[in-house]
Amino acid sequence: MDHIVIAGNGIAGLTAGDTLRRLGHTGTMTVVGAEPHATYSRPALSKVALAPGEDLDVGTLPEATHGATELRGRSLTGLDPARQVATLDDGSELPYDGLVIATGSQARRFTGSDREYTIRSLDDAARLKGSLVHRPTVTVIGGGPLGMEVASGAVGLGCDVTLVHPGTPMELHLGPLLGGILTQVALEQGLAVVDSMVSAVREENGGMVVTLTDGTELVSDIVVTAAGDLPATAWLEDSGLLVDGRLIADPRCRVTDSIVAAGDVTFIDHGAGPRRTPIWTAAIEQAKVAAAALLQGDEAASLDFQSYFWTDQWGLNLKMSGPIPHGTEPLVVKGSLEERSAVLHWPESGTAAALNMRMPIPRLHKLARETVTSV
């Protein structure tokens, strides 16, 4: 392939570009990224937005080795796979021999109000940080990792925070045991949790009103919406690549022979139905596989990696390797659940977790795969 275009300059785009070079691609490459910034650690956004001081340091990623031409602050508006041409936001065309789609996703929103915040970009984090220094009252919509991390940081800054989430926060991501522990700690530290769904949000009298499904209204100075994301596929609507609105790739992350996809924009179909895995580590592993498939075709290995997730909230650090454990009690390998510091193992599901306890990631992966527990 003489020229490869990488759509997206997040971690999936960066990893794909570097992997292509490592695997021997000597042609030219162009990376198109909607953000004006170089690739940064997106999981760090909720932390820098809520840390004291004005610093917005999201950490240093390894410098790119792909040597591509980078078009930052630019976006793609269309794609013609038959002609192998992508259209840029100024109407110009960008031809390719191979295409990596890694445009990520966009935060869900309820309104267009400036008082509704999301955290999807470095600019989003800066805007929220500028608001929280005034200690507004805050309603957080969504009790997943982002919502709980935002709530934790805002409470730590002295804000009065209410979190709205149906069921137990974090349970869908960590299972009932760990989700329950984090929720209990949050309550102890002053978070108000409302078990409900949101039907509407509006700006009114200089504040925000969140209407719940039972008609209850919650009033606060600002709203932070952390209720999921939407794959960034608008530019692909006329491409013929979408299936029921989804960009679906095979286990080698291939969409066509000359197009691969990785990261939050992608649904991978392993045979049991397309599934999207919008986490940082999945984007990295998918990008490696996608790059190999673009160059090697059927000779490339299929996607196969151990899922990994981490979060810092309410003074606790949690790392988990393997699928979400449901309905089974873990073996306590080390430490104590009562002290909220333990290494846990669910042999039935192949999952291990380190709650507020140091453990190298390779050892955590190894433990998750073991049938007997030892550290």
pLDDT of residue 60: 62
pLDDT of residue 208: 98
**C-alpha span between 40 and 56 (Å, rounded):** 11
State the alpha helices, DSSP H only, in the chain.
11-22, 45-48, 122-132, 145-156, 171-174, 176-188, 280-296, 361-369
Q: Which domain holds residue 343?
A: 315-369
Total domains in the chain come to: 3
Structure tokens at 245: 């609105």
What CATH number is given to the structural domain containing 268?
3.50.50.60
Is there a single domain that holds both residue 92 and residue 161? no
Is there a single domain that holds both residue 119 and residue 191? yes
**Is residue 307 one of the residues assigned to a domain?**
no
For the cut 60, the answer to whether the pLDDT of residue 253 exceeds it is yes
- Per-residue confidence band for 38, with pLDDT thresholds at 50, 70 and 90: confident
pLDDT of residue 54: 66
Taking residues 66-86, what's their average pLDDT?
Answer: 96
Instruction: With H, G, I as helix, E, B as strand and everything else as coil, classify residue 286.
Output: helix
pLDDT of residue 187: 98
For the cut 90, the answer to whether the pLDDT of residue 48 exceeds it is no
> Domain boundary at 210, 225, 240, which?
225
Is there a single domain that holds both residue 98 and residue 151? no
Query: In one letter, which amino acid is 266?
Result: T
**Is residue 310 one of the residues assigned to a domain?**
no
pLDDT tens string 283-336: 999 999 999 999 999 999 999 888 899 999 999 999 999 999 976 789 999 999
**Is residue 173 one of the residues assigned to a domain?**
yes
pLDDT of residue 373: 45
Is there a single domain that holds both residue 135 and residue 215? yes
For the cut 80, the answer to whether the pLDDT of residue 371 exceeds it is no
Is there a single domain that holds both residue 180 and residue 130? yes
Claim: this prediction has a pTM higher than 0.75: yes
Structure tokens at 313: 């909230």
Percent of the chain with pLDDT over 70: 96
**Is residue 309 one of the residues assigned to a domain?**
no
